[in-house]
A and B are shown apart, each in its own frame.
Chain A
Amino acid sequence: MNEEIKVDKTLDLKGLPCPMPILKTSRGIKEVEIGQVIEVLSTDPGSLADFPSWTRSSGNELLKTDQSGEVTKFYIKRLV
C-alpha cells in the first residue's frame, strides 16, 4: 500500500509502555468519526504485536504499519 493515507488525528504515545498504547488508542479513536483514520506513534516494542490484536478484537482496521525508525507508526481506520 503505497498511496498516501489521509490522517484525521495523530496520537503521540512515544515513551509509553504497555498497556498505555492500546488504552490511549481505544480512547483516542473515539475522537474521530467512523471511517476516519488515526495515526498512532509508539516506541513500545510490544505494540508491533499488540496493534494487530487490538484492531482485530475491537473491530477496527489496521491499514498500515510503518516501522522505519525507533518510532513505529500505525494507521488505524475507525470502523466501530
Chain B
Amino acid sequence: MQNIEAQIEELKSQISAMDKKIPSNKISMIVFSGDMDKVLAAFVIATGAVAMGMEVVMFFTFWGTPILRDKNKKAGGKDTMGKMFGAMLPKGTCEVKLSKMNMGGMGTAMMKSLMKKKNVASLEQMIEMAQEFGVQIYVCEMSMDLMGFKREEMIDYSQLSYCGVATFLEQAKDSRIQLFI
C-alpha cells in the first residue's frame, strides 16, 4: 500500500515537471528591423495573435527602437553622438521607409497612399490596436543607450517597459512561437 502511495507521489511530481516544460499559448517577437513594411507585418501578426487568444510580447531592439519614438516629444541632456543619432534616425512611425522600392521616399509615399485607398491600417493605427489588444512591448535598454534615446521621448503606450536580453529569453522560452523580424 505504502509502495503505491509512493509511486503516485512520484507520478505527480513527474507530471508537474512535464507541465512546466509545456510552453504557454504565447508568441514572442523580436522587432529588430526598422522598415515600415516589416514592422507593419510584426504588428499585424501581434494583434492577430491576441485575436486568436494568444498572449503577445514584442521586443524592440536596434533599428526597431526608433519606431517607438514620439515625434512630438523632445529629450534634453544628450551628448553630441546622441544628438547625431537622434537626428539621423527616424523619429517615430511617420519617418520609416519601405525595405524595398523606397526610391528616395517616393515608393514609401505611394505605398502609404495605396494602403489608405485600400483601407489597410497604417503603422500608427496598428500600434493603437496593439495597445487596445494588450500587446506587451519591451524596449531593449542597450539599444536605447547606444542610440542615445531617452525614455521621455518614447511614445505613450500603456504596456511599455524596458529590459535586457534575459527578459526576452525568459519569455521566449515559455512561448510556442518565437519570431525575429
Inter-subunit contact B48/A17 (CB<8 Å): no
Decide yes or no: A19 and B44 within 8 Å by CB, A26-B50, A54-B52, A58-B53 being known contacts. yes
B94 on the A face (CB < 8 A):
no
The 0/1 profile, CB within 8 Å of A marked 1, for residues 118-149 of chain B is 11110000000100010000000000000000
The 0/1 profile, CB within 8 Å of B marked 1, for residues 53-67 of chain A is 110011100000000
B47 on the A face (CB < 8 A):
yes
- Chain A contacts for B50, CB-based, 8 A: 26
- Chain A contacts for B48, CB-based, 8 A: 19, 22-23
The A17-52 residues at the B interface (CB cut-off 8 A) are 17-20, 22-23, 25-26
- Chain A contacts for B129, CB-based, 8 A: 23
Inter-subunit contact A59/B53 (CB<8 Å): yes
- Chain B contacts for A57, CB-based, 8 A: 52-53
Inter-subunit contact A58/B44 (CB<8 Å): no
A16 on the B face (CB < 8 A):
yes
Shortest Cβ distance from B22 into chain A, in angstroms? 17
Shortest Cβ distance from A77 into chain B, in angstroms? 16
Interface size class of A (residues with CB under 8 A): 10 to 19
- Chain A contacts for B119, CB-based, 8 A: 15-17
Inter-subunit contact A54/B44 (CB<8 Å): no
Q: How far is the CA of A17 from the CA of B129 in the complex (A)?
A: 15
Q: How far is the CA of A77 from the CA of B50 in the complex (A)?
A: 19
Q: How far is the CA of A54 from the CA of B50 in the complex (A)?
A: 11
B51 on the A face (CB < 8 A):
yes
Inter-subunit contact B52/A20 (CB<8 Å): no
Q: How far is the CA of A10 from the CA of B53 in the complex (A)?
A: 21
A residues engaging B (CB < 8 A)?
Answer: 15-20, 22-23, 25-26, 53-54, 57-59
Q: Can you name 4 extra interface pairs (CB under 8 A) apart from A19-B51, A19-B121, A26-B50?
A: A22-B51, A23-B48, A25-B51, A59-B53
Q: List 30 A-B contacts (CB under 8 A).
A: A15-B119, A16-B119, A17-B118, A17-B119, A17-B120, A18-B44, A19-B44, A19-B47, A19-B48, A19-B51, A19-B121, A20-B121, A22-B51, A23-B47, A23-B48, A23-B51, A23-B129, A23-B133, A25-B51, A26-B50, A26-B51, A53-B52, A54-B51, A54-B52, A57-B52, A57-B53, A58-B51, A58-B52, A58-B53, A59-B53
